[in-house]
Structure 1
Amino acid sequence: MQRITTILTVLILFALQIKAQILQPVKWSYAAKKTSATEAVVFIKATIDAGWHVYSQFVKDGGPVKTTIDFNPSSTFALAGKTTEPQPVTRMEKAFGMEVSFFENTVIFQQKIKLKAKQVMVTGKLEYMTCNDQKCLPPDNIEFSIPVK
């Protein structure tokens, strides 16, 4: 009887642990590619679980938290233009009472840079918010570090 009680206790604790895990429907990855001796492109990719979406960089005020990518200043590179993104899905979202642009499945943000050194490490942080049709998770901030080789 004591053995059954112990096994049940372990199973209940295991089930509670699984349920208590933090929901992370977006995975971020990073890369950079030199396009010449003095230029490169930095890629910031979000892989988004089915049913979830991440918002565009160009969401109007009053809506969800837009994706924001901030690059730390560096003497080894300079930003060339603004961070670009592919064409998002745009639709009316009742929760925000406005049309909102977002990405599903995957999105790759790109930033061109001018290289000022042979060894370059692009660092910064991004803020994003993810929602599905039932709920939104609080905005998240992630730091990144991307070597340019």
Structure 2
Amino acid sequence: MKKVFFILLLAIGSVSYAQVHDPIKWSTSVNKISDNEAELVITALIEHDWHLYSQNIPQGGPIPTLFTFNGDSRYLKKGNTSEPNGHEIDDPIFEMKIKYFDTKAVFKQKIRLKTTEKFKVKGMVEFMVCTGENCLPPKEVELTFDIN
């Protein structure tokens, strides 16, 4: 009986250890600027000790954060996605200046609305997160914005 209990405990521990760690929680919202303009807001809540890289990383560095938005005739993207100030360091591993975010990062994308009807803007964020000791492989997360 003790052997069965031990094997069961070992199996449960292996399964829980193998679960994927997801240190970033993404959320979306929309700020209405005017009748024909809105701002898509993407918020990343970042777990303690983890950091998310900027969209602007030099060649040869870690994978930058990248936002893509599905094309749709009901809106037009205005400019590039903005990001907060973050932290800039001389990274000893990549041997370059790298900008990253910890705790929270809010990204914003302005759009021009071509209709007054309700619709959804779909998009994707590709990103990489690291601690001082390790990095997770790049990941993609779908984003949805309700335009009312």
TM-score (norm. length: structure 1)? 0.93
TM-score (norm. length: structure 2)? 0.94
Gaps of 5+ in 1: none
The question of 1:144 aligning with 2:140 is answered no
The question of 1:24 aligning with 2:17 is answered no
* Contact 1:33/1:148, CA 8 A, preserved across alignment: no
Alignment partners' CA distance in 1, 2:59 and 2:86? 17
Read off the aligned partner of 2:92 and give its amino acid letter. K
Alignment partners' CA distance in 2, 1:120 and 1:57? 27
| Counterpart residue number, 2:127 | 128
| Alpha-carbon offset, residue 6 of structure 1 | 2.2
| Alpha-carbon offset, residue 102 of structure 1 | 0.4
Q: How does 1:1-149 map to 2 (within 5 A)?
A: 2=1, 4-117=2-115, 118-149=117-148
Gaps of 5+ in 2: none
Task: Name segments (4+ residues, structure 1) moved above 3 Å.
Answer: none
Secondary structure at the aligned position of 2:14 is classed as: helix
The CA deviation string for residues 32-66 of structure 1, in whole angstroms up to 9 with x for no partner, is 12122111110111111111100111111111111
Q: For the aligned residues, what is the CA RMSD?
A: 1.1
Q: Which has the higher strand share?
A: 2
Read off the aligned partner of 1:148 and give its amino acid letter. I
| Alpha-carbon offset, residue 17 of structure 1 | 1.0
Aligned residues with identical type, % of pairs: 33
